Structure 1
Amino acid sequence: MATLDPQVRDLLASLSKAPPALPWDVPIASYRSAGEKLAALAGLPNSRCDARDIVIDLPGRSIGARIYRPKGPVGSLPGVVYFHGGGFVRGSLESHDSLCRELSVRGGLSVVSVDYRLAPENVFPRAHDDAIDSFCWLSDHAGELKMSPDALAVAGDSAGAMLAASTAVGVQNRLAGLPVRAQGLLCPVLDVTLTNDSVTKYEQAPLLSRQVLAWCVDQYFPNLETRQSAAASPLMKSTLADAPAAIILSSEIDPVSDDARQYSAKLKKFGVESEHQEFAGMPHSFFLLAGVLEQGERAIATFAEKLSALLR
């Protein structure tokens, strides 16, 4: 295995004093609660950001969302619809609050974090439906939310990055033209068949092992056939020619590191602009630990800058 960054080793040593419970050994509510506690490692919330909660009314359901904007008398801004990670089973508006604040302030963006439905209570394609439906709703209401309707992006991390990428290519059937200007993906999970070499190479990786990854996939994709479906992930699509430009950041020591490389290469194959950066010595979702990892803070700053540039 590649060498872990020294800051990561120190962090893991401190966490080993109270190792997290494995998800199959505890009730789902306890697993989710444990994930929320990790938010303390994200750093202090950026005070230069305003945030307010809204409700998105969709057919047959309503889901929560939180809008972030830099403080000050700014007008309409490029918008980013953000889908949090958590293996489809956990994660929330709170767990990714610090990340979304930084993205908004550093990128000069209006960021909307979407609280989509989680597994195992909700299996595929419900989270995917929530992602596409919420993007369409936000696109329709962009003006009143002070987001530029012609400068909207989707973004997400881990499982949320799959929802973002799927929305980027799937929403075309719902709205005229190409409503998504850019896609931003952080440590994306894009191949839930779990057959990439990195799944085996880093099967014992910290923060996300192959066993935990497989368990999460089982919760959201109980039907094995759907895991190879293009509807589940754009990496399975025969063409990505109509996909928007992408900025993709990934970690080296990560079972899904190959997903980022392959997706970026496939975008380029079809003539789509794609920039991919891999952070050496970093484990999965390291950017959520920006309060204790310098590389995590650097990744967020890079992500915000690059995604903002794609929208301006």
Structure 2
Amino acid sequence: MTDRMSVLHAQVEQLLRSVSARPTPHPWEMSVAAYRQAGENMTALSGSVDERCTVENLTIPSREGALAARCYRPPVAGPSLRSGVVYLHGGGFVRGSLDSHDRLCRELCVQGDLIVVSVAYRLAPENPYPAAQDDAGDAFLWVSEHADKLGIDVESIAVAGDSSGGALAAGVALASRAQGPPVKAQGLLCPALDATMSSDSVERYMDGPFLTRAALEWSYDQYIPDPADRRSSFASPLLMPDLAGAPPAVIISAEVDPVADDARRYAAMLAAAGVGVLNYEYKGMPHSFPLLAGVLDDGGHAITVFARWLSDLLRGDSPYSQYAGQR
């Protein structure tokens, strides 16, 4: 196991010192409600909110009822139809909300000149697998069917997400090959893509920070309690045997992260299948660092890179590279 403190960025070390005075219990040591509230409290570290975009709350019908959603539109007048992104928040399938990812979605909207639809899918443990994946697929279908009314070009829609939301986004992208509607691009931020936790980084960075091996396993236990389901290609996109025909991808990852190798392996597999990949790993950064953009400079930089690369892919004017390097 690598000593994480020897490779962490100085700003991360400073943040860890500041939060060590208020230690947070492990997720299994508190109620689910308290765990969710602890996640919402982290938004104080996400940075200032860009008020320039137009925000509208929506309700999206799904096979199991209705999903809350939030639509973000860029502040500057543009073409009658813009490229769009269906965004799926992270939170280990257990927590996360429209509010916890509001700042990130605003930046994605403004910096990428994109219409972003953020979706509040059903959470575990109340709603185990495949509830969240079903909701993600239903939401993408609804946005595609209502693209004109939303001001979105139906031929230019991406699906994106961070952490567990990255797994959901990858699942929607892979499913679109067979059943549609078409996904033009997929955007994955620090994605957790293997519910069997087979990546070497799970052990290498088992102590985190911000995500530990034990917390990752606990999250999968809540969402996918049946071990057999964890080998499903839609629960674990990294286990999909054939990625040919998948949408091109933007993958942003963190070096000091139990799921770091999920991103590396998936990028390599996509490239081997002939899929365009823009892949960037931030040295010294922990899991979900873009959500800490208020205190980590690389968090803000990552959101900018993510927004611009995703926008370029949707507009068809970005070159691909199998591996774009490390910051």
* Alpha-carbon shift at residue 72 of structure 1 (Å): 3.3
Q: Which of residues 21, 24, 39 in structure 1 aligns to 2:25?
A: 21
Alpha-carbon deviations, 1:154-195, whole Å to 9, x = none? Answer: 00000000000000011333336xx10000000000011112
Moved over 3 A (4+): none
Question: Residues 91-170 of structure 1: matches in 2 within 5 Å?
Answer: 91-170=96-175
Q: How many angstroms does 1:107 deviate by?
A: 0.3
Which structure 1 segments of 5+ residues have no match? Answer: none
Q: What is the rounded CA distance, in whole Å, between the counterparts of 2:307 and 2:119 in structure 1? A: 18
Aligned to 1:172: 177
Matched, 1:31 2:35: yes
Residue 207 of structure 2 is aligned to residue 204 of structure 1: yes
Q: Residue 298 of structure 1 aligns with which residue?
A: 301
* TM-score under structure 1 length normalisation: 0.97
Aligned residue runs from structure 1 range 159-238, under 5 A: 159-175=164-180, 179-238=182-241
Instruction: Report the 3-state secondary structure (helix = DSSP H, G, I; strand = E; otherwise coil) of the residue aligned with 2:201.
Output: helix
Aligned length: 310
Deviation at 1:61, TM superposition (A): 0.6
Q: Is the 8 A contact 1:165 1:233 kept in 2?
A: no
Deviation digits for residues 15-55 of structure 1 (CA, Å, limit 9, x no counterpart): 11111121111110000000001011111111221111000
Partner of 1:49: 53
Letter in 2 for 1:259: D
Is 1:80 aligned to 2:89, yes or no?
no
The CA distance in 1 between the partners of 2:81 and 2:124, in whole Å, is: 35
Moved more, 28-37 or 57-66: 57-66
- 1:237: how far off? 1.2
Separation of aligned partners in 1, 2:199 and 2:48: 36
Gaps (5+ residues) in structure 2?
316-327
Q: Please tell me whether the aligned partners of residues 252 and 306 of structure 2 are also in contact (alpha carbons under 8 angstroms).
A: yes
Amino acid at match of 1:24: W
Secondary structure class of the residue paired with 2:148:
coil
Kept after mapping to 1: 8 A contact 2:196/2:236: no
* Partner amino acid, structure 2, of 1:10: Q
Residue 86 of structure 2 aligns to a residue whose secondary structure is strand
Whole-Å separation in 2 of the counterparts to 1:212 and 1:167: 25
Q: CA RMSD in A?
A: 1.0
Q: What is the CA–CA distance in structure 2 between the aligned matches of 1:214 and 1:60, rounded to whole Å?
A: 27
Work out the CA distance in 2 between the residues paired with 1:171 and 1:195: 26
Specify the alignment match of 1:247 in structure 2.
250
Pairing 1:40–2:36 present: no
The structural deviation recorded for 1:60 is 3.3
Query: For residue 103 of structure 2, what is the amino acid of its counterpart?
Result: S
**SS state of the match for residue 210, structure 2?**
coil
Show CA shifts across 1:69-123 (max 9, x none).
1113333210000000000000000000000000000000000000000000000
